[in-house]
Amino acid sequence: MQSVTVTVNGQQYQRQIEPRLLLSDFIRHELRLTGTHVGCEHGVCGACTILLDGNAVRSCLLFAVQVEGCEITTVEGLAPDPEVLHPLQQAFWEAHGLQCGFCTAGILMTLIPFLEENPNPDEPQIRAAISGNLCRCTGYQHIVDAVKIAAEKTRAEHA
Amino acid sequence: MKPAPFSYFAPESLNAALELAAEHGYDAKLLAGGQSLVPAMNFRLVQPTVLIDLNQVDELAYVRETEQRGLRIGAMTRQRSVECDPLVAEVCPLLAEVMPHIAHPQIRNRGTIGGSLVHSDPAAELPVVAVALDATLTVRSNSGQRRVPALDFFQSLFTVDVAAGEMLVEVEFPPWSARTGYAFQEVARRHGDYALVGAAALVTLGEDGLCERARLVFLNVGDVPMEARHAAGMLRGQRLTEELIEEALNVAAEEEIDPVADIHATVAYQRHLARVLGRRCLQEAEARAQQIVEGR
């Protein structure tokens, strides 16, 4: 067993874990943050995407022992309070950007740094950005619409 | 889908990592970005008893220009850092052009240049770039280091010239002549997925507009990057007409690659793709070289 201390959504956690514990399982089973979903567990589906020190990464391709001292954001860290959605979540709600919702957390976490780096993306850029996230319900069209709405609103707020 | 148990070490210096690698030999696996190794461990295709995590070895993450205007890149440099580095775009534009083709942004945030080179997947882009650009790879152990040309480094399927106890620490891309154009293209069913076939080309033009030097390397049509040496040789000293390129690609696609049929593509289709992508790459590389020549 090995000790790991990590900050998740602003809160510090310390746990004793086996080195082979995947970060995705650590987040879900040890921290009980089940918003991060586990799909393929080999880095293909993108459902488990989280932010590690601000970068979107697959949590199923990291061991929890590797994130000692790191800052992690999961989907639970997006909404400012239980009654108010993050602007990106709000846009997904408005554009019907999800059906079953299994892929949504991973897609949101992929898009947060993407929109920060690229506040005015065109459609090919949006599609390239979410190319590493599989959605089997929507056919992606409404997801792309949601990203456009979110980008527009964010730009309007900053204008 | 859970890895088998292992002992975990996270050394903070290259020397400490090499000591651990020497001590544990074949029992140990070196963990770089983990974007290929961890899936293999999750499937239990790989079950190392010792895992040496290199992610704390900061001294292996760098991009530097050499005195000859080439590039040296540390093995633990993230693919995303290489992709976004203006020095890479300036000094080694082929490498910059290839980076977005590697998997997805989330993978490149974590994946490293050294990890991809050592993994040596026949469908990976970086080994092809290393061979195309005549890169030299530096392999180190706790008893010394050696430099290996890319052409010798990739030995066969998932096999490179790195022994137990050794580690790839750096890749060096030498400069090419200023009048060199480059191109990379691949065909994949889905964006970011493994390519069915890909090609990289470099064309150096002389002052007279004739081809001084050419390089053509294919991806995923053999166990290792497939260099079409005879085809490239046919172009030397010549004007790159459509007929000549077609003739060279017949040689490349029929004699110089070694495709194997799988569920994604027949051998005939892979040869067809090699021909089409090879032609497009050579023409694009020549056009870029032409722009440089005319810009003077």
CATH number of the domain within which A124 lies: 1.10.150.120
Tokens representing B218 are 């294919």
- CA separation for the pair A149, B270 (Å, rounded): 41
Average pLDDT over residues A120-135: 96
Q: Sorting pLDDT into bands at 50, 70 and 90, what band is A158?
A: confident
**Residue A125, pLDDT above cutoff 70:** yes
No. of helices (H) and no. of strands (E), chain B:
12, 14
Strand partners, A51: A56, A73
Query: Domain limits of chain B?
Result: 7-53, 60-173, 180-294
User: What is the pairing mode between strands B167-173 and B28-31?
Assistant: unpaired
Q: What does B183-241 look like in DSSP terms, one character per residue?
A: EEEEE-SSTTSPPSEEEEEEEEE-TTSSEEEEEEEEESSSSS-EE-HHHHHHHTTS---
8 A C-beta contact, residue A127 and residue B191: yes
Which CATH number belongs to the domain containing residue A66 in this structure? Answer: 3.10.20.30
Which three-class secondary structure string do you get for A30-45?
Answer: HCCCCCCCCCCCCCCC
**End position of a domain, from candidates A27, A53, A77:** A77
Q: Name the residue in chain A with its Cα closest to that of B84.
A: A117
Give the number of residues written for chain B.
296
| Strands (DSSP E) found in A9-130 | 11-17, 49-52, 55-58, 71-73
- Maximum alpha-carbon separation in chain B: 63
Residues in B touching A20 (Cβ below 8 Å): 2-6
**End position of a domain, from candidates A48, A77, A106:** A77
In this complex, is the C-beta atom of B45 within 8 Å of any C-beta atom belonging to chain A? no
Is B180-294 the same fold as B60-173? no
The minimal CB distance from B192 to the residues A18, A68, A131 is found for A131
Give the tens place of pLDDT for each residue, A54-106.
999 999 999 999 999 999 999 999 999 989 999 999 999 999 999 999 999 99
Kind plus residue range of the DSSP H or E element containing A127: helix A123-129
- CA separation for the pair B80, B102 (Å, rounded): 10
In this complex, is the C-beta atom of B1 within 8 Å of any C-beta atom belonging to chain A? yes
Beta-carbon-side half-sphere exposure of residue B277 (alpha carbons within 13 Å):
27
Question: Complex ipTM, two decimals?
Answer: 0.95
User: Whole-angstrom distance between the N-terminal and C-terminal Cα of chain A?
Assistant: 51
pLDDT of residue B64: 98
* Full domain range(s) for residue A143: 87-158
Residues in A touching B6 (Cβ below 8 Å): 19-20
8 A C-beta contact, residue B227 and residue B151: yes
- CA separation for the pair A73, A111 (Å, rounded): 13
Which residues contact residue B11 at a Cβ distance below 8 angstroms, ignoring those fewer than 6 apart? B17, B19, B20, B52, B53, B54, B56, B57
Q: Are residues A12 and A73 in the same domain?
A: yes
**With an 8 Å Cβ cutoff, are B109 and A49 in contact?**
no
Q: Name the residue in chain A with its Cα closest to that of B44.
A: A42
Q: CATH number of the domain at B180-294, please? A: 3.30.390.50
CB count within 10 Å of CB B87 equals 14
CATH number (3.40.1280.10, 3.90.79.10, 3.30.43.10, 3.20.20.20) of B7-53 reads 3.30.43.10
Q: CATH number of the domain at B60-173, please? A: 3.30.465.10
In this complex, is the C-beta atom of B4 within 8 Å of any C-beta atom belonging to chain A? yes
The minimal CB distance from A56 to the residues B4, B109, B190 is found for B109
Q: Are residues A32 and A69 in the same domain?
A: yes
Q: Are residues A70 and A97 in the same domain?
A: no
How many angstroms separate the Cα of A41 from the Cα of each of A6, A49, A105, B29, B32? 22, 11, 15, 20, 18
Give mean pLDDT in consecutive 10-residue pieces for chain B, a chain of 296 residues.
96 98 97 98 97 98 96 98 97 96 96 98 97 98 97 97 98 95 95 92 95 97 98 97 97 97 95 98 97 85
- CA separation for the pair A12, A10 (Å, rounded): 7
Domain count, chain A: 2
DSSP at B121 = -
Q: Which of B218, B212, B281 is nearest to B245 (CA)?
A: B281
**With an 8 Å Cβ cutoff, are A20 and B4 in contact?**
yes
Q: Are residues A91 and A68 in the same domain?
A: no
8 A C-beta contact, residue A4 and residue A65: yes
**With an 8 Å Cβ cutoff, are A114 and B105 in contact?**
yes
Q: Are residues A43 and A92 in the same domain?
A: no
Residues in A touching B189 (Cβ below 8 Å): none
Which three-class secondary structure string do you get for B233-275?
Answer: HHHCCCCCCHHHHHHHHHHHHHHCCCCCCCCCCCHHHHHHHHH
Which single residue is written with the structure tokens 């992709």?
B83
Q: Are residues A62 and A8 in the same domain?
A: yes
**End position of a domain, from candidates A38, A54, A77:** A77
CA of B3 vs chain A CAs: smallest distance (Å): 6
**With an 8 Å Cβ cutoff, are B105 and A132 in contact?**
yes
In this complex, is the C-beta atom of B56 within 8 Å of any C-beta atom belonging to chain A? no
Phi/psi at B61 (5° precision): -115, 100
In this complex, is the C-beta atom of B106 within 8 Å of any C-beta atom belonging to chain A? yes
Q: Name the residue in chain B with its Cα closest to that of A58.
A: B106
Give the tens place of pLDDT for each residue, B135-175.
999 999 999 999 999 999 999 999 999 999 999 999 999 99
**With an 8 Å Cβ cutoff, are B105 and A19 in contact?**
no
Residue from A63, A73, A103, A140 whose CB has the most chain B CBs within 10 Å, to mutate: A63
**With an 8 Å Cβ cutoff, are B5 and A18 in contact?**
yes
